[in-house]
Amino acid sequence: MNAALVSVLVPTYNGERFLGETLRSALAQTHQAIEVLVGDDSSTDGTAGLLRELAATDSRIRVLRHAPARGAWGNSLSLLTEARGEYVKFLYHDDLLEPDCVATLVGGLEHSRAVTLAFSHRSIIDEEGHAIEGASPLLLTTEGLLDGRQLGDTVLSSCRNIIGEPSTCLFRRSDVDPADLVELDGRPLVANEDVALWLRLLSRGKAYYTPRTLSSFRRHGLQQTANPRVLAGGALDWPRIIDWGRRQGFLAAADEERQAHVEALAMAAGTLSALPASEYTGEVLEAAFLSTSRLLELHTGDAAHGGRPLSERAHAPVALSRLSQQLDVWSRPHAVALAAPAPDPIEVAATIDALRQVRASGAAPHLVLAVAPRLVATVVPLAEAALAAGPDIDVDLVPTDDPAALLEDSWLAVAPRAGTWHRGRVPVWIVDLAAARTQPVAR
């Protein structure tokens, strides 16, 4: 029986310094049935000449030259499209494989068709090829099959690619459609395309893992991982990947998804701290906004989002309306919502409308209007007119000269942004007077 063909895909751009060693590690595999497909993305150094020399000595090397350049992931996708092997292994131009890497991972996939991803421990090496001590701890100490959903949950809830870079993995060509890898929910990823690929595979089956070190990932100063655009875009990738993963069946428990977005927020904060003020600050702030919006959805029990991506939901009117309120409004259930409007037709009407919103949102079931005794005759007709103008709600009237004295810890104040009668004792639902003054008042 002939061994299955494995396509080793090597995307490169100006990779002359390390590429020769990388390709020699691919050609030295004990699994002989391989093709080494190299994508040269319009290199300007000596890469083209090196590839001509190596291809002349080994017919297993095929070279694709891209002009114009397609970018790192575009280069990789082109190679995947051209791959002829039953199995695919990416190998970045500065990484290395141990001689039995391909054979071991092919054996892992051939345990069963239910296994969709095979990977191993990898070492982290420096520019000179020396292992960086402690940089790559073992995921597990034993070889075996891992549940795909559980492994995906761990990746998402930690916001860490614990599986590893493309050079450490192997999968079936038939399990991957290159068209699926270009975008996530209709938008490109910036730095975590490999994570999205691993999750697609894990959503369909198991993973094989061995703690043996079968590849080496090289760190050096020319990598894009230190690029501010990549750092900022990588932070923004994670809330989108978490939300997409949940819609694929990962993070089924709400506490797992919550932990994932907490980690994404921490990553955004760390990235913002590490980056100097730059044109990419907005991407990091958007990452924090998306995770904050989803955490608020989880906290309020809002499940009415269907299959829409988080980047759409977070900017929709319902979410933006929720975020327009102080977030402590949503921190816990409130027994009573208390309002104390001035005897002004516009403010009373806006306050009644705000109480409707409070009731509809579930923020508080019991609504109370506090009015100074001397103003009851003025405010009550205004409140009755406002109530008659819209959906009916039950509102209790309490005459008092000191509405703040009524407030208890479990209550919610309903007041204009500049209102101070509540003295900051409880969360405040904001009454939008500016918008109200542009609307006609019911009479």
What's the pLDDT tens digit per position in 184-199?
998 999 999 999 999 9
What average pLDDT does this structure show over 127-143? 93
pLDDT of residue 59: 96
201: pLDDT strictly greater than 60 = yes
Give the DSSP H or E segment for 194: helix 193-202
CA-to-CA distance for 410 and 152, rounded, in angstroms?
39
SS3 at position 248: coil
CA-to-CA distance for 289 and 310, rounded, in angstroms?
10
pLDDT of residue 364: 96
The pLDDT tens digits for 26-80 are: 999 999 999 999 999 999 999 999 999 999 999 999 999 999 999 888 899 999 9
pLDDT of residue 318: 84
SS3 at position 201: helix
Confidence band for 440, pLDDT divided at 50, 70 and 90:
low
222: pLDDT strictly greater than 70 = no
Q: Nearest Cα to 194, choosing from 117, 260, 94, 248?
A: 117
Q: Report whether 45 contacts 73 (CB < 8 A).
A: no
pLDDT of residue 36: 99
Note the pTM of the prediction, 2 decimals.
0.88
- Overall fold of domain 6-223: Spore Coat Polysaccharide Biosynthesis Protein SpsA; Chain A (3.90.550)
The residues near 204 (Cβ < 8 Å, ≥ 6 apart) are 116, 148, 175
What average pLDDT does this structure show over 276-302? 91
107: pLDDT strictly greater than 70 = yes
The residues near 72 (Cβ < 8 Å, ≥ 6 apart) are 11, 13, 41, 224
pLDDT of residue 398: 98
pLDDT of residue 224: 60
With a pLDDT cut of 90, the percent of the chain lying above it is 83
User: How high is the mean pLDDT of the chain?
Assistant: 94
Looking at domain 327-436, its CATH class is alpha beta
441: pLDDT strictly greater than 60 = no
Confidence band for 354, pLDDT divided at 50, 70 and 90:
very high
Give the DSSP H or E segment for 434: helix 433-436
Evaluated on CA atoms 174, 159, 301, 390, the torsion sign reads: negative
pLDDT of residue 383: 97
pLDDT of residue 332: 85
DSSP type of residue 168: G
With a pLDDT cut of 70, the percent of the chain lying above it is 96
The pLDDT tens digits for 322-335 are: 888 989 999 888 99
Q: Report whether 264 contacts 239 (CB < 8 A).
A: yes
Confidence band for 236, pLDDT divided at 50, 70 and 90:
very high
Domain extents in the chain:
6-223, 227-323, 327-436
